[in-house]
Amino acid sequence: MAHPKMFDDDDPVLAQVRAIALALPGAQEKISHGRPAFFTTRVHCYYGGSVRIEGEWQAHDQAVVLHLPPAETEALRQDPRCFVPAYLGPSGWIGVDLDQRTDARELGELIEESHRMVAPKRRVARLGGTG
């Protein structure tokens, strides 16, 4: 059974995430479990996520779910905008709630860092620098 679509294509926050994520070398978009997923050979960013609290699902529809270095993930856990996403959290992923006030530069840095964690080395080398 296919997952229902859990996003709005006209969402301006999704448009911002999409522009950043798809500008990375080799990045593409697909729908995974009803949400946009950005990937090269592996997913580096999801738009939207959820957590399960006391048996109830809590959606984070305007959020990015990222795979960052462990120290960065741990630091972000202290940020009230952040959450440990269901399913992916135990593997080191972190969710960051977004809105139209989200700093585009910070968002770009987080998405790029997640891309660096999972993309093939040749694509990461095209980014230059270290992060």
pLDDT of 119 over the 70 cut: yes
**Taking the model in full, what pTM does it have?**
0.92
pLDDT at 3: 85
61-75 pLDDT, tens digit per residue, is 999 999 999 999 999
The backbone torsions φ and ψ at residue 90, rounded to the nearest 5 degrees and listed phi first, read: -65, -20
- Among 77, 80, 74, 69, smallest CA distance to 109 is for 69
Q: Give the torsion through C-alpha atoms of 70, 73, 78, 83, to 10 deg.
A: -130
Question: What domains can you pick out in the chain, each with its CATH number?
Answer: 12-122 (3.90.1150.30)
